[in-house]
Amino acid sequence: MKKNYPSLLKKMHKFFFVFIFNCNFYALAASDDETTLFKESLIPLNNFINKENIKDYATQEYILTRCSANFRFIAILLKTNGAKHEDVFNDAMFFVQAAMEIRKLNNIMRNNIQTDKGILAGIAQAVKIITDKYINDSNAHYLTSGSHFTGSYIDGDRVICKKINSNLIKFLNGQLTFP
């Protein structure tokens, strides 16, 4: 028997599925040639979205975690260059919170008990690992192009994550609804 779970979580899950399903991210990717340059690289987020089951809670959690890492990477880069980074870092933390809510919903559906502290620790570790991959790929991209992420899959990920962030905020503020 399924437990009842908070309606906001259910709405967030539906939002995430509908939004991702209706977006076309094909044009945002870097070339396939670039993704093969770095064996430790992440695949472009749009490639991941287009091949995975976005109804799956684990997939949704990964996308949110990946967006958190992307924004965290950009905040680190901005801070290193002396630019304003606090808003970008706050957006990264917003994605962590959203990923935590998806994990909680998944845990409820599977009757899995995990503390908020345990959920946060797992997501934080994943964000750090993915951020490190962005940093490594950014450094390699900089050596060949003179830019840390312009023209790379990292920039494509940034565009996708900005769109998800904007629409998720609108949704949570009641400015965006889905049938």
Burial of 110: CB neighbours in 10 Å, binned 0-12, 13-18, 19+? exposed
Per-domain residue ranges of the chain: 15-172
DSSP assignment, residue 139?
A: H
pLDDT digits (tens, 9 = 90+) for 71-112: 999 999 988 888 888 888 898 999 999 899 888 888 887 888
The length of the chain in residues reads 179
Residue 1 banded pLDDT, cuts 50, 70, 90 = very low
* Residue 113 burial (C-beta neighbours within 10 Å; 0-12, 13-18, 19+): exposed
How far is CA 119 from its chain centroid?
Answer: 16
pTM for the structure as a whole = 0.77
